[in-house]
């Protein structure tokens, strides 16, 4: 999220996110929702609409679908001997004439971070009518109430 440019997304009003159904950004992890609230919705004043693909269905994610072939061609089945080589294979891909960017994040992140029930209640999260567990919008909170 370091290079996120929110003003370029939907004219600065919203940030649509298509996410996998599992892992750290799945539809169940509380920390994912809490960080979207704090680090995108509240910080930039954006309405973040998240639509999760069902588990095992990420192959229909248009970003992954378009990138998989070109990245695989660059990789060409070479052994992954170091973590640093993978971003190079990704960066070398071109999709529709546009080059792809990638970088290795060597930051260390805390594990087993718990988001309490109270913190969850403070999120401005509205579930959608269709598949409410997988589709929701997180809106910016009134920052005066947070301080």
Instruction: Tell which residue, 16, 12, 5, has the closest CA to residue 48.
Output: 16
**Per-residue confidence in pLDDT tens, the chain, 147 aa:** 333 444 444 455 788 888 887 777 888 899 999 999 999 999 999 999 999 988 777 677 777 777 777 888 878 878 878 888 888 888 878 887 877 888 888 999 899 999 999 999 999 999 999 999 999 999 999 755 444
Separation between Cα atoms, residue 98 and residue 95, nearest integer Å? 5
Structural domain boundaries in the chain: 6-146
DSSP reduced 3-state for 16 = strand
pTM for the full predicted model = 0.71
CB atoms within 10 A of CB 7: 10
Separation between Cα atoms, residue 63 and residue 61, nearest integer Å? 6
Bridge partner list, 17 = 50
Q: N- to C-terminal Cα distance for the chain?
A: 24
The conformation of residue 115, written as its DSSP 8-state character, comes to: -
The conformation of residue 39, written as its DSSP 8-state character, comes to: I
Q: Is the dihedral of CA 72, 77, 78, 84 positive or negative?
A: positive
What are the tokens at 48? 């973040």
DSSP reduced 3-state for 140 = coil
Tens digits of per-residue pLDDT, 100-122?
A: 888 888 999 899 999 999 999 99
Separation between Cα atoms, residue 38 and residue 140, nearest integer Å? 9
């Amino acid at each position: 999220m370091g290079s996120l440019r929110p003003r370029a997304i939907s004219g600065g009003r919203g940030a649509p996110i298509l996410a996998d159904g599992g892992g750290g950004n799945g539809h169940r992890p509380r920390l994912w929702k809490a960080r979207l609230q704090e680090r995108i919705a509240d910080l930039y004043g954006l309405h973040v609409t998240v639509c999760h693909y069902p588990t095992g269905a990420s192959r229909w994610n248009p970003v992954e679908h378009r990138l998989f072939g070109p990245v695989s061609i660059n990789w060409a089945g070479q052994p992954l001997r170091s973590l640093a080589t993978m971003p190079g294979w990704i960066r070398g891909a071109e999709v529709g004439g546009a080059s792809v960017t990638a970088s290795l994040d060597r930051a260390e992140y805390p594990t087993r971070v718990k988001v309490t029930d109270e913190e969850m209640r403070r999120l401005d999260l509205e579930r959608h009518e269709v598949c409410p567990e997988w589709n929701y919008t997180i809106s910016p909170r009134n920052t005066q109430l947070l301080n």
